[in-house]
Amino acid sequence: MVRKNIKQKIKEYFFVNPTAKLRVRRIEKQLNLPLPSVIKYCKELEKEGILKRVEIGGVVFYTANRASENFIIEKKLFNIYSLYNSGLVGFLRKELGNPTIVVFGSYASGEDIEKSDVDIYIETPSKKSINTEKYEKIIKRRIHIFVYKHIHEIGNKELANNIVNGVVLNGFLEVL
């Protein structure tokens, strides 16, 4: 159990901070974890393709292996889970009467970095203004919400295509 938690904590840190380059001692301090475990699990995560080692001036740093398929798949799942776990999906359902909710763009594809926005499409006739500040703090990303009554109302073709290629978090997206 403890083993899983430490490894998971390191993994999640790099999912949230994919461009961070940290030495093991920094990971130890930042995440408040024992150094031998950090060394052990960073090596394991490197083998799994989640992290990669970079040497700068003879010093070893660990960073997210953003080109690895394993990293992208796990990050994608982590991102989707984070949106539910933060309470954002439940909040939007309650506030807007069970709308269709789609996350799209880099966050949905697991390719987001620290500066990326979480792009969320909401299909609702409601004109209620929504404050997502609380959830931005939890998921450590800015949230950009696109509200339309129906996907057919979106004039920007590229935006509509991005939305239909996203992940439906609630409801059903009817295109045809």
Partner 1 sequence: MKPSDWEECIENNFAIKRSKNKKKAESLKKIAHGRLSFIGKISITRENANYVFEDYYSSISELIHALAYTKGFKILNHVCLGFFLREFIKREDLYRLFDDLRYKRNALVYYGEEMDFDVCMDAIEKSKKINKRAGSTP
- Contact positions vs partner 1 (CB under 8 A): 93-94, 96-98, 124-128, 149, 171-172
Q: What is the DSSP string of the chain?
A: -HHHHHHHHHHHHHHH-TT--B-HHHHHHHHT--HHHHHHHHHHHHHTTSEEEEEETTEEEEEE-TT-HHHHHHHHHHHHHHHHHTTHHHHHHHHHTS-EEEEESHHHHT---TT-EEEEEEE-S-------HHHHHHHTSEEEEEEES-GGG---HHHHHHHHTSEEEES-----
Q: In this complex, which beta carbon is closest to partner 1, that of residue 32 or of residue 129?
A: 129
Q: Rounded to the nearest whole angstrom, what is the least distance from the CB of residue 79 to partner 1 in the complex?
A: 25
The residue (of 19 and 98) whose beta carbon lies closer to partner 1 is 98
* Residue 98 vs 161, nearer CB to partner 1: 98
Provide the minimum distance between the beta carbon of 93 and partner 1 in the complex, in angstroms, as a whole number: 8
Shortest distance, position 173 Cβ to partner 1, whole Å: 11
